[in-house]
Amino acid sequence: MQLRPIIAALGRHKVATALIVLQVALTLAVASNALFIVATRIVHLSRPTGTDEARIFVIRNGWRLGQNAAQIDANIRADLDTLRHVTGVRDAFSSQGFPLAGYNAKIITRLKLEPDQKTRAQLVTFFASDEHTIDTLGISLVAGRNFRPDEITAIGPNDKLSPPGIIVTRSLADKLFPDGSALGKTVYLPDGPTAIIGILAGLQGPLKESKSLDGYTVLVPTHYLDPAGVVYLVRTDSAAMKPVIAATLKALQERGAARIIDPKDGVVSMAQVRERAYAEDRSVALLMSILSGLLLLATAGGIVGLSSFWVSQRRRQIGIRRSLGATTGDILRYFHAENFLIVSGGIVLGALLAFLANLGLMHVYELPRMPLYAPLLGALLLWLLGQLAVRGPARYAAKVPPVVAIRTE
């Protein structure tokens, strides 16, 4: 197959060739960036929280006003006892937050390695927990031990947070002590020293935006006595949660206590929490996929249209080639090779544009750098698309009979 005549022929259609090259280039630039965004969003939204999400639900329980800390403490203890005895409930604990719940002021604290450390303290999120937390969340310890019942304290929003021991995630332990010696070490909460008594395999905190902070989670052995309300996390035996939710609500109601549970979103399953937390990521991924799909289709349509036009313009030349001995295979190959050349030109230009666009997006949307495979995959896709699109017009061209050469139209 000789490329010289193809290039010579393209030289006679400079504008049309340039248009397809430009189109392929723009398509590659936009589609590879869009699909890269889709990939990052999907990776982001499918991160596991580390918990047994399918069997966990959350009760946002508000307290009626006028109850003092002792009453709230008694309420929480009695509520937990009630919850753990509902049929279908495996375990439960109380906290001030839950995974993927989003930012609020009560879930952030800082850890220091030295009491008088001058550098920035490590930002972490924490959950008020007790000895049932690990079982309720369905997470596991990789080192150390669980809390003992006698270690669980009760603190209000204005009390000092200084437990004797805390449990941290492995990612946080490795961040604080890169040599892997975190277990048993003393670290400093803002209110005082504490020891790392256990290390979890993984547990996502309430945040969902940053890669690192999301996994820096600390369990603090305490019941959090917030007069505004408390969060109960409940793990069920089976994934059919509806009847269990109804039963727990009924049990809480029968137990009494001046509580407010919003009828609309007082109870949410972890699945719902995840859906709400990642709604925007899902939306971005979906939109970008749809637009990329349309983009590729449009480009394919354009290639079909212009190739057909070229074929119809060159019927005479094709006829002459055929009468001079070219087989239908030769004609087919000619058009496929021509398309390959044009698309390749577009891909070279497009890869350049794609990286430029990525630089811009990195600046505006804090996107990571696009890995090389994204435009490579896009290029492969476009080559394939081009060959598929030109198939119809090329076959049509191959059917041109040699007799056209001597026929005047």
Partner 1 sequence: MWGYYIALALRSSARSKALTALVIVLLGFGVSACMVSYAVFRATTSDPLPGKSSRLYVPLIDNVGSSYNDQGEPIETLSYIDAMALWRARKASRLTLLYATTWQVESDNPLIPAMSLGGDAVTADFFSMFDVPFRFGGGWTADDDAQHATVAVISRHLNETLFAGQNSVGREIRLDGQLFRIGGVLEDWNPRPRFFDAGSHGTVYAFDDAGDIYIPFTRATDMKKDSTFVYCPTASRQSDTSHWGAYLHSECDRIDAWVELATPADADRYREYLRYYAAEQQRLGRFSWEPNIRLRNLTDWLAYLQVTPRASSLSMLVSASFLLIVLVNVVGLMLARFMRRAPEIGIRRALGASRATIYRQFLIEAATMGFVGGLLGVVLTLLGVWGAGGLFAPNIARLVHADTSLIALTVLLAIAATVVSALYPTWRAAQTQPAWQIKITG
Q: Which positions touch partner 1 (CB under 8 A)?
A: 15-16, 19-20, 22-23, 26-27, 29-30, 34, 37, 62, 64-66, 102-105, 108-110, 120-121, 157-161, 189-191, 228-229, 260, 262, 279-280, 282-284, 286-288, 290-291, 294-295, 298-299, 301-302, 304-306, 308-309, 312-313, 365, 409
Q: In whole angstroms, how close is the CB of 94 to partner 1 at the nearest point?
A: 18
Q: In whole angstroms, how close is the CB of 325 to partner 1 at the nearest point?
A: 27
Q: In whole angstroms, how close is the CB of 285 to partner 1 at the nearest point?
A: 9
CA neighbor of 115 nearest in space, from 181, 187, 43, 48: 187
d(CA 140, CA 152): 19
Q: Which is nearer to partner 1, 87 or 312 (CB)?
A: 312
Integer CA distances (angstroms), 133 to 93, 151, 237, in order: 6, 13, 15
Per DSSP, the three-state class of 341 is helix
Q: In whole angstroms, how close is the CB of 366 to partner 1 at the nearest point?
A: 10
**327 CB contacts (<8 Å, ≥6 apart)?**
none
Q: Which is nearer to partner 1, 18 or 326 (CB)?
A: 18
- In 3-state terms the chain splits into helix, strand, coil percentages (rounded to 5) of 55, 20, 30
The structure tokens listed for 291 are: 């637009």
Q: In whole angstroms, how close is the CB of 360 to partner 1 at the nearest point?
A: 10
Q: Which is nearer to partner 1, 290 or 362 (CB)?
A: 290
Q: Which is nearer to partner 1, 89 or 296 (CB)?
A: 296
Q: Which is nearer to partner 1, 16 or 154 (CB)?
A: 16
Q: In whole angstroms, how close is the CB of 311 to partner 1 at the nearest point?
A: 11
**Please, are residues 43 and 129 in contact by the beta-carbon 8 Å criterion?**
no
- Kind plus residue range of the DSSP H or E element containing 276: helix 270-277
Q: Which is nearer to partner 1, 135 or 344 (CB)?
A: 344
Cα 314 versus chain centre, distance: 50
d(CA 284, CA 289): 8
**225 CB contacts (<8 Å, ≥6 apart)?**
69, 72, 73, 76, 154, 155, 156, 157
Strand-pairing partners, residue 197, are none
Q: Which is nearer to partner 1, 143 or 361 (CB)?
A: 361
Q: In whole angstroms, how close is the CB of 240 to partner 1 at the nearest point?
A: 26
Q: In whole angstroms, how close is the CB of 107 to partner 1 at the nearest point?
A: 9
**Please, are residues 200 and 211 in contact by the beta-carbon 8 Å criterion?**
no
Q: In whole angstroms, how close is the CB of 241 to partner 1 at the nearest point?
A: 22
Q: Which is nearer to partner 1, 265 or 330 (CB)?
A: 265
- Which ranges of 179-259 would DSSP assign to H, the alpha helix? 242-255
CB < 8 Å & 24+ apart, contacts of 194-197: 194/162, 194/163, 194/164, 194/165, 194/166, 195/164, 195/165, 195/166, 196/144, 196/165, 196/166, 196/167, 196/168, 197/144, 197/145, 197/147, 197/165, 197/166, 197/167
d(CA 249, CA 261): 9
Q: Which is nearer to partner 1, 110 or 369 (CB)?
A: 110
d(CA 353, CA 32): 10
Q: Which is nearer to partner 1, 27 or 51 (CB)?
A: 27
Q: In whole angstroms, how close is the CB of 67 to partner 1 at the nearest point?
A: 11
